[in-house]
Chain A
Amino acid sequence: MLIIGEKLSIIAKRVREAMMKKDKGPIQEIAIRQWKEGSGMIDANIGPAEDGGEDLMRWMVTTIQEVVPLPVCLDTTNSRAIEAGLKAHNNQWGRALINSTSNDPERFPILELGAKYNAQVIGLTVGKGGLPADAEERCVIAAEIMGRAMEYGVPLEDLFLDPLVLQIATSQDHARHVIKAIGMFQEMNDPPMKTVVGLSNISNGCPKTLRPVLNKYFYLLLTDAGLSAAIADSHEMAEAVNEKALVADVLAGKQLSDTKKMLEISKTLDVIMGRTLYAHSYLEM
């Protein structure tokens, strides 16, 4: 399992300020911390970055790779910024991953960059026509993206299919559609297609204390389904791995000596699998 550390995102105030001031300190500190927590790649999310995107991505890639021996996930909709990041990327630590292409024709040039710079590419299974309704629709879009990748010269081994994780607080059914899609994606090629999720979006909009709980158990269910990579909080994912045996016990119907933990796990699995309706206070019921 590849954990792509999610913390260097323009959405975080501290990171955004460091990006604006080109202050390496906070960026490198966060990159090092994620590396030590087990991230095998660092996501550099600079947002749409319409102005100065090229400079910013170049600076992010070199700033990160100065201190951690890891590849970078180039996360922006600005393809010129992606190309600047690819040029600056040090492949000694592994190949870069582009986040992302999709089935929207505007996103096809991303595949050209992937082929040109021998980078890996995330294929987000959305098209121009809105969000996919279920796992099957995600597969239909995935097949289109796979065909497009081959046409542009990106080997399928370098394509990571992303089923698009939605917020459980507003789109509860999609949690299990995503888990199912991860299983189905792998069957679409031999060797199996690689898969990736933007994990933490599952708990976006949920109370702060609930977020790690949902993230961890959703991650473990996705792991069971064969997920290859997750853009996630590496600290939370390390905790999740420690609880793997507990979750397996709950799934097997065993009683845990820690009743509180057992209820936390079983209630969360019920919510993720759609057996109980989500509400912010579901753990208290």
Chain B
Amino acid sequence: MAFAAPKETYPGKVFQIAIGADQSAVFGGENVLSFHSFEGNAPNRPVIAYEIQDIPPEDWPETVRKVYEGVSGDPVTWAKHCQNELKAKAIALRLIGTHPDRENRSPEEAAKIVKDVLSSINIPLIILGSNHVEKDAAVLVAVAEAAKDKNCVIGKAQEANYKTIAAAAMANHHKLIAMSELDINLSKQLNILITQMGFDKEKLITDPMCSALGYGLEYTYSVMERIRLAALTQNDATMQPPMLGDVGMYVWKVKETQAPEADLPYWGSLEERGIAWETVTAGALMVAGAELLIMRHPRAVKAVENFIDELM
């Protein structure tokens, strides 16, 4: 008798999300574990968004900062560069300049930047706050309104500020990232609370919180994997939104992406090391279940795209 490969089928399915005014980036929608297309239906590739920010990336390490030299001084130029030169499928604009400990920019200033960026690109935009719960509540409300009907992704809503942010995302027809801190039960709880406000569960993206290779990646991996198993095996609708891996921000602050070759010659080229670190972190999270990735280095993005080509 011929060998028949065993196949798992699941009762549950991940929600499919389309973002952008023209809905050009689509992810999720699978009823199998990541890349198990031989067992069922995995209609969409994971989407990688290039990360840019509202202020020059002076806190990024040189290796990745120099890639954007000449364009990163202004978010509009930077966004256009990602779209036109790097052929980005989506852009993630992080409004780090609104953080009270940084430039402390006002919600109105942030809204203007968002409008300017939106009018200069035609690919989908993900709009991220500065991860300051109080400030984000004000900033994300203003930017959600400024981007009304552009079908952006707004984030991140957390337990302490989800009410105002979710209401603004809902009123202005955006998708919403719900972030909890590496705890599957709290992640489910936050999704429940947001949907109890009337927010459509099929417009949510779950961010279980990222971590870089060597710095707790296995925790994120495990939480993502368990979320996905709950979605598929238990058909748990609260866990069926696609997942986000906010990779670049976590990777480009660890020692391995910053320590110079002069100090650690046996670690090899700093540039290659950083790119490899971002690639491997993103690749691992994609295998765990992330469908939307936010990344910084174009070569790392390219490597992950090749990885997807091989696995799809």
Residues of A at the B interface (CB closer than 8 Å) are 169-170, 172, 275-281, 284-285
Contacts and interface: CB of A to CB of B under 8 A. Distances in A.
Contact of B185 (A172, A275, A284): A172
A133 to B, nearest CB: 14
Given A277-B226, A285-B238, 17 more contacts: A169-B185, A170-B183, A170-B185, A275-B234, A277-B184, A277-B188, A277-B236, A277-B239, A279-B185, A279-B189, A279-B192, A280-B189, A281-B189, A281-B193, A284-B192, A284-B196, A285-B192
Chain B contact-residue range equals: 10 to 19
B208 to A, nearest CB: 13
A276 B234 contact: yes
A172 B186 CA distance: 12
A278 B196 contact: no
B179 to A, nearest CB: 15
Interface in B184-230: 184-186, 188-189, 192-193, 196, 226, 230
A276 B192 CA distance: 14
B234 A281 contact: no
Interface of B: 183-186, 188-189, 192-193, 196, 226, 230, 234, 236, 238-239
A277 B192 contact: no
Contacts, number: 34
B199 to A, nearest CB: 14
B interface, over-half SS: helix
A140 B185 CA distance: 29
Contacts of A278: 185, 188
A276 B189 CA distance: 13
A169 B189 CA distance: 11
Contacts of B193: 281
B228 to A, nearest CB: 11
A278 B196 CA distance: 17
Contacts of A277: 184-185, 188, 226, 230, 234, 236, 238-239
Nearest to A277: B230
A281 B185 contact: no
Contacts of B230: 277
A interface, over-half SS: loop
Contacts of A170: 183, 185
Nearest to B195: A285
A235 to B, nearest CB: 27
5 contacts: A170-B185, A275-B234, A276-B236, A279-B238, A285-B192
Nearest to A168: B185
Nearest to B239: A277
A279 B234 CA distance: 14
B149 to A, nearest CB: 31
A277 B189 CA distance: 10
A285 B196 CA distance: 9
Contacts of B192: 279, 281, 284-285
Contacts of B239: 277
Contacts of A172: 185
Contacts of B226: 277
Most chain B CB atoms below 10 A, which of A278, A281, A284? A281
B196 A281 contact: yes
B23 to A, nearest CB: 29
Contacts of B234: 275-277
A275 B234 CA distance: 7
A280 B186 CA distance: 8
A281 B188 CA distance: 9
Nearest to B227: A277
Contacts of B183: 170
Contacts of B238: 277, 279, 285
Contacts of A284: 192, 196
Q: Which 7 A-B pairs have the closest CB atoms?
A: A279-B188, A279-B189, A277-B230, A281-B192, A280-B189, A278-B185, A277-B188
A281 B238 CA distance: 11
Most chain A CB atoms below 10 A, which of B185, B192, B226? B185
A271 to B, nearest CB: 10
B223 to A, nearest CB: 11
A204 to B, nearest CB: 13
Contacts of B236: 276-277
A170 B185 CA distance: 7
Nearest to B231: A277
Contacts of A285: 192, 238
A172 B196 CA distance: 23
A169 B186 CA distance: 9
Nearest to A169: B185
Most chain B CB atoms below 10 A, which of A170, A279, A285? A279
Nearest to A275: B234
A279 B236 CA distance: 12
Nearest to B230: A277
Contacts of A280: 185, 189
B303 to A, nearest CB: 33
A279 B186 CA distance: 7
B204 to A, nearest CB: 14
A127 B183 CA distance: 26
